[in-house]
Amino acid sequence: MLTMLSRQTATGLRVLLVFTVLLGVVYPLLVWGVARIPGLSDRAEGSIVYASDGTPVGSSLIGVDPVAADRGADPYFHTRPAASSEDSLGPADTSTSGGSNLGGFDSDPVDGGLLETVQERRSLIAEREGVDPALVPPDAVTASASGLDPHVSPEYAALQVARVAEVTGLPVPEVAALVADASDGRILGFLGEPTVNVTELNLAVREATR
């Protein structure tokens, strides 16, 4: 009996030791090594974007909407609205992430519903950009699922070019070129829709106006 118990105990300890080494040392080192492969290391570290002086200023995966001032002092591009914002446009509460989970038939006697919020956003954005409300694209007035989406449609970015150029003093063609540089096409040429990364775009605007 004691011999069998000792044998089972020894076997269990050997198995524990082997899996401790494999899962506690070898596997973490393997994952760490893969994350250091060129092309993957940046993503593994959070896709951080840097200013020209090397200072980290954010992540290309997280969109932070700039605090909206009056139109004459609003030099940056805006992201999509977020459900976590205190008002209909933002900025978002970056400490939380999530959508509104509202549908077209949702309504609130005090704050209104989804349709009322969308209409309010359309009016505010049209006023901010100095355009007809009919020209405001859908992604400008609908919150993203995460609330921290850094991407907007090329149409929404183009809508903001004139204001950014006017406030910053940059030529319109130069601002449009910055938008093009921050743009990505469809994945593999046919998946998804073209997008513009607002985080990277606003960094480029800041660098161009220094």
Q: How far is it, in rounded angstroms, from Cα 86 to Cα 140?
A: 17
CB 42, CB 35: distance < 8 Å: no
62's tokens: 């997280």
Map residue 31 onto helix, strand or coil: helix
Per-residue pLDDT tens listing for the chain (210 residues): 668 888 888 888 999 999 999 999 999 999 888 877 877 766 667 678 778 787 888 788 888 788 766 666 889 999 998 877 767 776 666 677 777 766 666 665 455 678 888 898 999 999 999 999 999 999 999 887 777 889 999 999 999 999 999 999 999 999 999 999 999 988 887 888 899 999 999 999 999 988
98's tokens: 């999530």
Give which of 171, 150, 149 is closest to 162, Cα–Cα.
Answer: 171
69's tokens: 């001032």
Q: How far is it, in rounded angstroms, from Cα 69 to Cα 83?
A: 20
- Run of H or E including 94: none
Q: How far is it, in rounded angstroms, from Cα 127 to Cα 134?
A: 12
DSSP secondary-structure letter at 53?
Answer: T
193's tokens: 């829709």
Give which of 143, 134, 139, 127 is closest to 70, Cα–Cα.
Answer: 127
Give which of 85, 108, 84 is closest to 97, Cα–Cα.
Answer: 84
The whole-number pLDDT of residue 107 equals 62
pTM recorded for the entire structure: 0.75
The amino acid that residue 67 corresponds to is V
38's tokens: 């060129």
The whole-number pLDDT of residue 155 equals 97
DSSP secondary-structure letter at 56?
Answer: E
